[in-house]
């Protein structure tokens, strides 16, 4: 570090380019270097933003003693190998999800973190969405009551995406559906059973020997809570959605139909007459108050320099930031990107464990990988290492 600030290298500028201006604006970052296998893409970003350096290779970053931390936004098959390389080079590492594609690689990352003593964080967007912040607020204020059940969903068609996606087991990339449930449960996942459904064209089955376009899993947590997550990747007609559904004893929160739809909140109607007959009881259920809500933008936990990144750039007014930030407008996976960057950076500056650390990341990764294994075995219950 230099004067208490970080030198960060960002690897992968396809999706990763979204994070570059956030790192540049972060008050605890003094320099940002970039690398992409497409040199012309890196040069275009360097024309738009004041980057410190364009690296010629991933290996050059590992050898640069001035780099404190690396953020990987690279293809799924590369995550584990690159993560271990970064940690073994003595640098802090943030990685886009999923953490790894095998139980062996999950263990390898855990061992690399332990050996290196460096920070590792999964950059899970659904952990910091407007919606997730609002559910936490409902829990903290008592509005939700006791969580009774949770569901997560991620519907997306990957036809036409890079080849490594073709035929990918849905639950291998179940982290967007599962991570919020693991965080809200505040308890390790201890077991899973999963079923696969549907049929895929033969060409999609070859790469991963996966027959399922859709997988649906039920997870058990150490505190006894259970939750369900559904993931589709191919040949399934559904609008894009990364959904979160939390059912409480007093109120429930349900994601809207589309990813950008307003969520619904339902409040259990207060029971006044305990001697209701069957018809009155039925009417009470039918009259339960519910409706769409505008989810606020919980930007206040961020440094002012990052506020603008929680909304679409055109929706931010520098002269009147408070009003333009009241409602989230979709800045990077529902405003999550700056929160992820801030948590990673501050965990290093403060020398503490990141909120989404290797322990939580490994538990989620194992649960997702074992969910697919359960589906291949016809839905058997498998134990997940906490």
Paired residues of 5 in beta bridges: 2
Run of H or E residues at 5: none
What mean pLDDT do residues 133-159 have?
Answer: 97
Q: How far is the C-alpha of 53 from the C-alpha of 148, rounded, in Å? A: 50
Stretch(es) of the chain classified as CATH 3.30.360.10: 127-333+367-383
* Res 315: pLDDT: 75
* DSSP state letter for 172: G
Paired residues of 266 in beta bridges: 252, 290
Q: How far is the C-alpha of 57 from the C-alpha of 44, rounded, in Å? A: 17
* Res 190: pLDDT: 98
Q: How far is the C-alpha of 61 from the C-alpha of 164, rounded, in Å? A: 25
Statement: residue 156 has pLDDT above 80: yes
Neighbours of 255 (CB within 10 A): 21
Model confidence pLDDT, tens digit, residues 243-268? 999 999 999 999 999 888 999 999 98
Model confidence pLDDT, tens digit, residues 274-290? 556 665 665 555 567 88
Stretch(es) of the chain classified as CATH 3.40.50.720: 6-124+336-354
User: CATH: 3.40.50.460, 2.40.50.140, 3.10.20.30, 3.30.360.10. Which one for 127-333+367-383?
Assistant: 3.30.360.10
* Res 287: pLDDT: 64
Task: Provide the percentage of residues in the chain whose pLDDT is more than 90.
Answer: 86
* Res 345: pLDDT: 98
Q: How far is the C-alpha of 344 from the C-alpha of 233, rounded, in Å? A: 29
* Res 313: pLDDT: 75
CATH superfamily of 6-124+336-354: NAD(P)-binding Rossmann-like Domain (3.40.50.720)
* DSSP state letter for 331: S
What mean pLDDT do residues 361-378 have?
Answer: 98
Task: Identify which of 337, 339, 311, 336 has the alpha carbon closest to the alpha carbon of residue 325.
Answer: 311
What mean pLDDT do residues 311-332 have?
Answer: 73
Model confidence pLDDT, tens digit, residues 212-246? 999 999 999 999 999 999 999 999 999 999 999 99
Residue 143 to residues 150, 167, 251, 268, 338, Cα–Cα distance (Å): 16, 42, 6, 10, 27
Strands 264-267, 290-292: parallel, antiparallel or unpaired by DSSP?
antiparallel
- Measured in degrees and rounded to the nearest 5, phi and psi for residue 20 equal -60, -50
Task: Identify which of 142, 152, 178 has the alpha carbon closest to the alpha carbon of residue 251.
Answer: 142
* Res 189: pLDDT: 98
Model confidence pLDDT, tens digit, residues 96-109? 999 999 999 999 99
Statement: residue 292 has pLDDT above 90: yes
Confidence label for 1 from pLDDT (cuts 50, 70 and 90):
confident
Task: Identify which of 240, 270, 236, 237 has the alpha carbon closest to the alpha carbon of residue 255.
Answer: 240
Model confidence pLDDT, tens digit, residues 168-198? 999 999 999 999 999 999 999 999 999 999 9
Alpha helices in 287-335 (DSSP H): 321-324
Task: Provide the percentage of residues in the chain whose pLDDT is more than 70.
Answer: 93
Interacting residues of 357 by C-beta distance below 8 A, sequence separation 6+? 119, 120, 121
Read off the tokens for 47: 């024309």
pTM: 0.94
Instruction: Considering only the C-alpha atoms of the chain, give the largest distance between any 2 of them, rounded to a whole number of Å.
Output: 75
């Amino acid at each position: 570090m230099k004067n208490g600030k970080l030198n960060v290298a960002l690897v992968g500028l396809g999706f990763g380019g979204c994070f570059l201006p956030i790192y540049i604006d972060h008050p605890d970052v003094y320099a940002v270097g970039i690398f992409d296998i497409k040199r012309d893409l890196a040069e275009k970003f360097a024309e738009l933003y004041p980057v410190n350096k364009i690296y010629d290779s991933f290996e050059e970053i590992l050898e640069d003693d001035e780099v404190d931390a690396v953020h990987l936004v690279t293809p799924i098959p590369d995550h584990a190998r690159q993560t271990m390389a970064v940690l073994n080079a003595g640098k802090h590492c943030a990685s886009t999800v999923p953490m790894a594609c095998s139980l062996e690689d999950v263990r390898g990352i855990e061992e690399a973190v332990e050996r290196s003593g460096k920070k590792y964080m999964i950059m899970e967007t659904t952990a910091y969405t407007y919606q997730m912040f609002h559910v936490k607020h409902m829990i903290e204020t008592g509005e939700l009551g006791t969580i009774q059940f949770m569901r997560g969903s991620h519907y997306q068609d990957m036809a036409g995406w890079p080849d490594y996606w073709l035929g990918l087991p849905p639950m291998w990339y179940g982290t967007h559906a599962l991570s919020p449930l693991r965080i809200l449960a505040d308890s390790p996942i201890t077991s899973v059973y999963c079923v696969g459904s549907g049929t895929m064209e033969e060409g999609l089955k070859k790469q991963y020997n996966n027959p399922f376009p859709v997988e649906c899993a039920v997870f058990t947590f150490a505190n006894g809570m259970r939750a369900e997550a559904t993931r589709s990747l191919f040949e399934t007609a559904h609008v894009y959605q990364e959904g979160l559904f939390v059912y409480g004893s007093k109120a429930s929160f349900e994601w809207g139909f589309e990813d950008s739809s307003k969520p619904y909140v339902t409040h259990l109607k207060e029971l006044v007459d305990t001697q209701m007959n069957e018809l009155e009881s039925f009417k009470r259920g039918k009259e339960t108050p519910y409706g769409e809500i505008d989810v606020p933008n919980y930007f206040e936990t961020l440094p002012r320099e990052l506020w603008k990144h929680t909304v679409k750039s055109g929706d931010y007014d520098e002269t009147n930031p408070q009003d333009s930030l009241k409602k989230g407008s979709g800045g990077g996976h529902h405003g999550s990107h700056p929160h992820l960057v801030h948590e990673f950076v501050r965990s290093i500056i403060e020398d503490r464990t990141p909120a989404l650390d290797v322990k939580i990341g490994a538990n989620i990764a194992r649960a997702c990988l074992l969910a697919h294994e359960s589906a291949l075995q016809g839905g058997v219950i498998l134990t997940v290492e906490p």
